[in-house]
Structure 1
Amino acid sequence: MDVIVTPTPRLNGEIQALSSKNYTTRYLLVAALAEGTSTIYYPAHSEDSDAMRRCIRDLGAKVEEDDEKIVITGFGRHPLPVSELDVGNAGAVLRFLMAIASLCPDVTFINRYPDSLGKRPHDDLIDALGQLGVSVTHREGKLPITIKGGSPRGGKIRVSGNVSSQYLSALLFLTPLLEEDSEIEVLHDLKSKVVVGQTLEVLEQAGIQIEASEDLMFYRVPGRQSYKAQNYTVQGDYPGSAAILAAAAVTESDVTVHRLAENSRQGERAVVDVLRMMETPLTHENGIVHVQGNGKLKAVEFDGDQATDAVLAMVAAAVFAEGTSRFYNVENLRYKECDRITDYLNELRKAGANVEERQSEIIVHGRPEGVEGGVEINAHYDHRVIMALTVVGLRAKAPIRIKDAHHVAKSYPIYFDHLKALGAKVEWVEA
């Protein structure tokens, strides 16, 4: 399905932020790794979290759900010996479960999205699993990937953090369950340290002890630990809300978003600070962000590694800012569902934006007068690109058609419902 976004000068209303995808997937996993019954309140519903639900059920977890919560009886350190797992298009779920699958004798992760997740390499994690004595067969680091495990061994492990922090998180979920103690050294740089902080937070809540260096580049993990069955409450999602807040910033608006905790460890909470730097009138109190946008924005410079999943929305806002904005330290955007620098900027140019790319930077020469629009845009099957391009369409001079916009369901299935509730003119059309 495609979406046609018609220019919308005003947005008005209140919404509840979606629940966090990152926290939901992590809580689902630690609940499955516990022996006993855990309850997760307000879980996210998205393709990613649904993929984790499906896979932990296949691995032996009992999963029961109602409108408010999920109750999970875990399999502990003994997942079922399944032969195949289908993670859909969910990269984080794949990487976390590649590590957990090493507790099984022989599991193949199938390739259902050859044009998206199927293109992404996972060599750094494959290499790290090899150091645990796990045999992995693969296609140049890509899906389909077969894990031949059963008895992974702890010890000294080195993993690159250059491409993704998810490889490290995968090892942090697995190593506490091993017989031996482990030491994990992160090589090169570590991308998205804030997200590693979320993993450590969830592990601590699940009763797991890990000693992390201050720079998050070295870890001591005692073996023979057990995940404890717990109750968890999922907080509101900043990455998805970033696009809503950006949409409010580029229009005349009076928009309120609830369930966005000020003290959240989600790095994407920085979107509130960036919009303030852009001189968007807003308040953030008691978990409520209230934007009274006037469409007038100033350019910013921002280190995007702190808030990877909000960068595209911030870039969309900067398209209409006065002056030149620079988002730097964002090379890891190239290794997502698509190349979120080259692919995204090519589509922005089609709409009339003035943008430049560097290997690890996005430069935006703002056009406060707006962009032309009137084009069809390819979102490259990427939920973050879809959301950000929608923000641009609201301020274009003519409608924009976004191809395959249904892929927004990967993280935010009701994104367009929320925008409509705020008054945005968006319409689903058959492809």
Structure 2
Amino acid sequence: MKELVVNLNTGLHGDLEVPGDKSISHRSVILSSISEGTSHVHHFLASDDCISTINAFREMGVQIDLDGDELTVTGVGLHGLKEPQTKLDMGNSGTTTRLLSGLLSAQNFTTNLIGDDSLSKRPMKRVSEPLSMMGARIETTDGHLPMTINPGHIKAVKYELPIASAQVKSAIILAALNADADSVVIEPQVTRNHTETMLNQFGKDVIERDGNQIIVHHNPKLTAQDFNVPGDISSAAFFMVAATLVPNSHIVLKNVGINATRTGILDVLIKMGANVKLLNQTNSSEPTADIEVTYTPDLKPIDVTEESIPLMIDELPLVALLASRANGHSHITGAEELRFKETDRIQTVVLELQKLSIQITELSDGFSIDGSKDWRVANSSLDSHGDHRIGMTLAVAALLVDTSVQLDGEDAISISYPQFFDHLKRLCS
């Protein structure tokens, strides 16, 4: 159990470079492994989740060297993976599990995927069912891990996603690389596009987009790349929100990815009247900027609806926290997907924020929140419930109370941000 920083009257100050983007780091391992040649990845996120992806490909015969945040991958080509001699342990990583489900569906060997207790409760039918339509032969345990993927012949498909999910979309795209013809994936709303962007970096015109339709060209030639992973906006978001809410704060977060499919948290902050500026913007395939954030004493309430949820799905606990300090009533709806994350994040956010006497009500698909600055600690034992983003959200919330609080399950934060508490301490010093 970790004692959290509370009542920070001096504010957060300084510059910080947050770790590499988790979504891009995962995909850099996957695509480097199935490319031809040696890829060099800089500013890689060496978190528990991303290490699970590395270990899986090592078990399938890919040489991967990790030195700090520098990754070197000697690719084996699209058809060069080897049968693992053991079960592939996904750890806590839903991204690893779902994306590999697509790629492994097209292999000529059997794989068995396992995970920790939390991951084993997360639904896998959302990927196994569309992949089965493509010819994949997947056996789940009542829709969950453990999962067995047998050799299958992948057929081209035109598939309309029933829900907006970047992981499901990416699983289908990775399977479609090995299909017998080109495939089409249709999104109900645009979701994070790192798989498509990176595929077109590793191969020429692998992906085409026509509105909400994504065309996947089969059997592409993928060639090794040398690239930098931008800072993770989902990690930066915790400090953006902290600096917005804690008096006297002024910080600059360096080299943060601002891919348009990921910037929902910036849109929310701006709509609520926060003092946020983008500096030194780049226009590369994965655009970046330095983000300057200054304390904002009065925030407007906000209504977040289904259309914008995919642009900020991982940041919604933080949006709930922002709304808890706003001047008025806020709603977050259309976010039922939160119930299928590392925890039921709707239930967990409500349970934990109510310990700080925050007026937040659970909805079937989100939250109803009465903003107030009159918080008091009703229960000083906060709990991450094994969910990294809940843990970090509570660490930010603790900065706004004046009574000692503790966080149980703080180890979960290493899943995505091993240096989080060190970086928070640096900005608070």
If the length of structure 2 is used for normalisation, what is the TM-score?
0.90
Q: Over aligned residues, Cα RMSD in angstroms?
A: 2.0
1:24 partner amino acid: S
Partner of 1:24: 25
The equivalent of 1:429 in structure 2 is none
SS at match of 2:422: helix
Which residue matches 2:2? Answer: 2
Distance 1:174 1:52 in 2: 17
Counterpart of 1:49?
Answer: 50
| Contact 1:26/1:199, CA 8 A, preserved across alignment | yes
Matched, 1:118 2:120: yes
Secondary structure of the 1:422 match is helix
* Structure 1 counterpart SS, 2:382: strand
Any conservation in 1 of the 2:63–2:74 contact (CA below 8 Å)? yes
Gaps of 5+ in 2: 281-288
The amino acid that maps onto 2:114 is I
Q: Which moved more, 1:125-134 or 1:42-51?
A: 125-134
Structure 1 distance, partners of 2:390, 2:318, is 8
Letter in 2 for 1:220: I
Distance 2:53 2:297 in 1: 39
Deviation at 1:64, TM superposition (A): 1.8
Q: Answer whether contact 2:165 2:310 (CA < 8 A) is retained.
A: no
- The whole-number CA distance in structure 1 between the counterparts of 2:146 and 2:69 is 35
The DSSP-based 3-state class of the residue aligned with 1:177 is coil
- Alignment partner of 1:283 is 2:277: yes
Structure-2 residue corresponding to 1:362: 367
Aligned letter for 1:386? G
Q: Which of the residues 240, 243, 257 maps onto 1:248?
A: 243
Letter in 1 for 2:253: V
Report what 1:167 is aligned to: 168
Describe how 1:35-74 pairs up with structure 2 within 5 A. 35-74=36-75
Are residue 92 (structure 1) and residue 95 (structure 2) matched?
A: yes
Of Structure 1 and Structure 2, the greater strand share is in 1
C-alpha spacing 1:266/1:108, structure 2 compared with 1 (3 Å): farther
Distance, in Å, in 2 between the alignment partners of 1:16 and 1:235 is 10
Question: Aligned equivalents of 2:263 and 2:406: distance in 1?
Answer: 29
Of the structure 1 ranges 318-327 and 60-69, higher mean CA displacement relative to structure 2 is found in 60-69
Distance 1:68 1:345 in 2: 35
Secondary structure, counterpart of 1:372 in structure 2: coil
* Corresponding position of 2:206: 209
Which residue of structure 1 lines up, in the alignment, with residue 337 of structure 2? 332
Offset at residue 378 of structure 1 (A): 2.2
Structure 2 residue 310 is matched with structure 1 residue 305: yes
2:245 is aligned with 1:270: no
- Shift in Å at residue 84 of structure 1? 1.4
User: Which residues of 2 match residues 176-187 of structure 1 at below 5 A?
Assistant: 176-178=177-179, 180-186=180-186
Describe the superposition over 1:8-55 as per-residue Cα deviations: whole angstroms up to 9, x where unpaired. 222222211221011111111100010211111111121111111111
Within 5 A, what are the aligned runs for 1:182-197?
182-186=182-186, 190=188, 193-195=190-192, 197=193
Give the CA deviation at 1:185.
Answer: 4.4
Sequence identity (%): 25
Alignment match, 1:402: 407
Shift of 1:325: 1.7
Runs (4 or more) in structure 1 with deviation over 6 Å come to: none
Quote the Cα distance in structure 2 between the aligned partners of 1:157 and 1:269: 29
- Code of the aligned partner of 1:121: P
**Which amino acid is the alignment partner of residue 275 of structure 1?**
L
CA distance in 1, matches of 2:353, 2:34: 43
Give distance in 2, aligned partners of 1:58 and 1:266. Answer: 35
Alignment correspondent of 1:293 = 295
Does structure 2 retain, via aligned residues, the 8 Å contact 1:121–1:140?
no
Preserved CA contact (<8 Å) 2:39 2:225: yes
Q: Deviations over 1:228-273 (max 9, x none)?
A: 1111211111011111111111111121211125xx2153423233
The residue type paired with residue 383 of structure 2 is N
Q: Under a length normalisation based on structure 1, what TM-score does the superposition of the two structures give?
A: 0.90
